[in-house]
Chains A and B, each alone.
Chain A
Amino acid sequence: MADHNDPNAVNSIFSDVDVSAADLYDIFGFPSNDTTEGEKVVIALTFSSTPQAGTLDPDMLYRIRIAPDTRIVRPKNEDHSLDGLLKYVDGIKNKYESILKPFEVRVSVDKDQKAHIRFINFTGGSFSDVVAINQTTELTAPDGQGIKVYIGGRDDAFFNDLTGFFRSINYAPQFYHVPHTMTDARELKIPKTLLELEGNDLFNYDPNLPTWGRGFKKDLPPGPLTWSGNSFKKDAKGNYRFVYSGEDARAGQNINAIILEMPLSYISRSPAEQRIVNAWGESWVLKAAHKCEQIPDHPFWLEHPSALVDQQKLDDELKAYKLVDTDGQAFADAALSERENNRQMGANNFWLAPHFVKRLGHLGWGFGPSISALGLSTSFDHDNSPISIYKTYDSVIAAFPRVKKLLFQDLNMPDNSWNPKGLDIPLRRPVEIFIPNVCSIDMDTTGTWPFGRRLEDQVATRFLSLFLDMTASYKGTKYHVDIMNTQALWDSAPIEPKTPPNPLKNDKIFLTEFPYIAPPWPS
């Protein structure tokens, strides 16, 4: 869902790669508070404001793919072995490839900045329309239900210390001008960590350069680009130095967005049974060969909106584009898929399951010891290592035992507000969150992460909580997904600065009504 960090081809972190309208940022999804005329779901896909906020690129096509489903029922005596994991993945794969046939919303703009939106194969009927951008429009679906649409510029709803995140994974391009040829100089071979490493001058905060990594980059030194220390950095008072600062790297920034509010019954034939709405976003760019042969605006569709073109013609449309980016689950790209262009698979990331296990193993050896150093309990088995370790795995069999608890632990919620109806809804687990790579909205919840993603969720910090041991307690309270957002935790921790890692609120207040995301900052 949070995907500010993207396939290398469009990643503007690399100095000479221009920011691209294909760069997807976030996908939000939650049940709407507006239940007049039935339940509704809000889905918002945000992306780079290129060429500018409120102006969209006519060469782009955005897809929001939606698949309603029933809630997963876990079998009794569930198998938490590696085999069990692979069977789970297989089952999900089969479901997505054979059973769920995702509907889709397609959006493109013409040269006059009119947005062409198409609703394809939905239960409530397929139709298309042309809408003005930068304003809310209410469309009427073939079944008579209303759908709210906003396409245009907004404030970036993501609030996050991106610099801190990149510092935690020793990601050189955020801090240095890295030659493109040096493909091994991205995540440097330095342990991941929440606490600065003693002597890690390649990344440790420099008070003389406060903007380093926040817009200012140094030249990459000759090397070696490694770390050979054996302890966390401490100040004179014995406090560790946090890699995070709690500052909002996206404050004052804008995005472009496609925001929809749709009746659940428009999406699902059985809204009472299908309580889950899975959504993910895709960006496609027009192929050069079709630039001159672009499908013209066709008045037929406007005159006969219900007689939508058949699937074959739609597929022909898609053949004129190439997939660039996908967005489903928060930090799937940044943390797990490592931004590789060929891992942009959207929901179909089942093939990456072994990679995820190995990747989590690698992250765990870094984050785990640093969590333990703070006196917190971690879900990762790091053999009581006193210091973060750089370790990678070639074998998923070797990695799995270390991450087994992390993958299968229930993620506690801070309270019961997420479950307003008090239903017997199982807590989510990391294994279900990242595979498939979708925003999975549970309509019987508030949609707060991981049961969707609400605008106000601090998902980056919640992602970090995956590495906490959810069976442990802090001052009598079980660990939960939001515990690292708790100021009291940091006040009592031997750390500076004493702050939650990421900002707790967005720089602009969200709206209480559609389109929910605040208006853009003036240019």
Chain B
Amino acid sequence: MTDYQADLQRIEDDIHAIGCGMRETRVLSPDIGNASRLFYRNFQYASLTGQVSLLRQLDESLDVAISCSSQPADLWLLKAHVALKRHRFADAETALRTDPSLTTSPFARLLQSDVDLQQGRYMAARGAIEAVLSVDRTWDGLARLAHLISLTGDLRFADEIYAAAEDELSAKEMRSFAWLEVQRGWMHFQRGDQTQAMVHYDRANASYSGYWLVEERIAELIGAQGLFAQAIAAYQRLYAASPRPEWEHALGDLYSLSGDSERAHDWKRSARSHYIESVESGETYYFHYLIDLCCELAGEEREAIEWARRDLSIRNNFMTQGDLAWALYRGGELTEAVEWLTKALASGAVSARLYVQAACIYSVANRADLGSHYMRLAMATNPRPARAHMPTQQGQPPRMARTIWSPRITPGQSVA
């Protein structure tokens, strides 16, 4: 049994035990202590498995519990956390303001910093994190700070802070340790240092076996290295264990990069269908995936713009601004594209993806100078983007073309 499976088993056993205990104690009083633990364990389960649908059920159950509780502070905190994971940032902010005790709770303040980051309030986010850390130095506070620092481009300092976060963890927290290693690895991956990225992913895997988050990152990396068959196999294993549209999307990308456009199209259509299903059920989690997907699919440019606007409406940061700019550019609306691009670049965030978006948009918008500038910046930020294999013409050697591998994670994603 892997560490991940063992953890899931423990959580399931605890959920069962708490449930039995609650049935036994119901005669005496409604047991908010056990109820809180039950919710927390269910949240852990949903977070660990990455199942957004479970979070929705939990959210609805929390509403009922909160209405019945005399002291719902912890439940509000959990609701805020759930809302963040569901990309319901306004709901998260509302939950954090509901109970007076949450204004001073260190963890509540850190969750608020997550909301601030999603809303592009970078200084407020950093201020809150540093204020909490000055009083209560926790690994997740340090992790948030490290992520913010990485957005400024100071990779070395960010990595030091991630290492400091790891130093706060005990041997009882290997899952969190693995998560931190994944963040460090992904930070290096985004900057083109695939070797260092794999060092961290391997360490994550060694520390906490069987974790899909690690396996997903490894699959992404080997795909970026052009090892398409291996990457496809890895994503297919992940998909077989837990079908998710984002993995369908990734498989579509990989088949596309490897030159199998037919399979690529099939996987991307399936991903799109499942994204839409999620949106139609009321979820907002997959907006940013839909932007990327619709930008790639012929005839879907207008839809891409719509998804980008919707994503921006729930969170206004350099990523969503850049994505809207990109969607507008793809849809031929250059003037507005440049406006949003300017806003995104004004954040000062260091992002190869944003720079490539800028390079393309400025080049077409008669600003070749800026186009070249941002392309150089993009290459300097990530000198090793993904490789692609183009189908050969008869009698001709294969041509290698470069394209930018689009990472799926958005900044400010809540810690595990």
Contacts and interface: CB of A to CB of B under 8 A. Distances in A.
Interface of A: 15-16, 20, 59, 177-184, 216-222, 285-292, 322, 324
B62 to A, nearest CB: 14
Contact of B31 (A178, A219, A290): A219
Contacts of A292: 203, 206-207
Interface of B: 28-34, 36-37, 40, 69-74, 77, 99, 101-102, 104-105, 107-108, 166-174, 176-177, 203, 206-207
Judged by DSSP, the binding face of A is: loop
A1 to B, nearest CB: 25
B171 A59 contact: yes
Contacts of A15: 33-34, 36-37
Contacts of B99: 181
Contacts of A222: 70-71
B166 A181 contact: no
Nearest to B169: A288
B105 A181 contact: yes
Contact of B171 (A217, A221, A286): A286
Given A181-B108, A222-B70, A289 B166 contact: yes
A132 B104 CA distance: 48
A211 to B, nearest CB: 9
A175 to B, nearest CB: 11
B171 A183 contact: no
B170 A59 contact: yes
B171 A287 contact: yes
A183 B37 contact: no
Q: List the 8 closest pairs (A to B, CB-CB), nearest first.
A: A177-B33, A288-B177, A288-B169, A179-B74, A179-B73, A286-B171, A181-B105, A59-B171
A15 B38 CA distance: 11
A292 B203 CA distance: 9
Contacts of A221: 70-71
Contact of A291 (B34, B69, B108, B207): B207
B174 A288 contact: yes
A290 to B, nearest CB: 8
A180 B73 CA distance: 8
Nearest to A180: B74
5 contacts: A177-B71, A179-B73, A181-B74, A285-B170, A322-B170
Contacts of A324: 170
Contacts of B170: 59, 285-288, 322, 324
B174 A291 contact: yes
Given A16-B36, A181-B105, A218-B29, A285 B71 contact: no
A449 B3 CA distance: 47
A288 B139 CA distance: 11
Nearest to A59: B171
Nearest to B163: A289
Contacts of A217: 33
Contacts of B168: 322
A396 B166 CA distance: 38
Nearest to A21: B172
Contact of B71 (A20, A59, A179, A183): A179
B29 to A, nearest CB: 6
A177 B169 CA distance: 27
Nearest to A294: B171
Contacts of B203: 292
Contacts of B28: 216
B387 to A, nearest CB: 32
A59 B172 contact: yes
Contacts of B108: 181
Q: Which residue of B33, B105, B168 has the most chain A CB atoms within 10 A of its CB atom? A: B33
A222 B72 CA distance: 9
A242 B288 CA distance: 63
A225 B206 CA distance: 48
A453 to B, nearest CB: 29
Given A220-B71, A288-B176, A181 B77 contact: yes
B70 A220 contact: yes
Contacts of A179: 36, 71-74, 77, 101
A271 B299 CA distance: 91
Q: Which residue of A16, A218, A222, A290 has the most chain B CB atoms within 10 A of its CB atom? A: A16
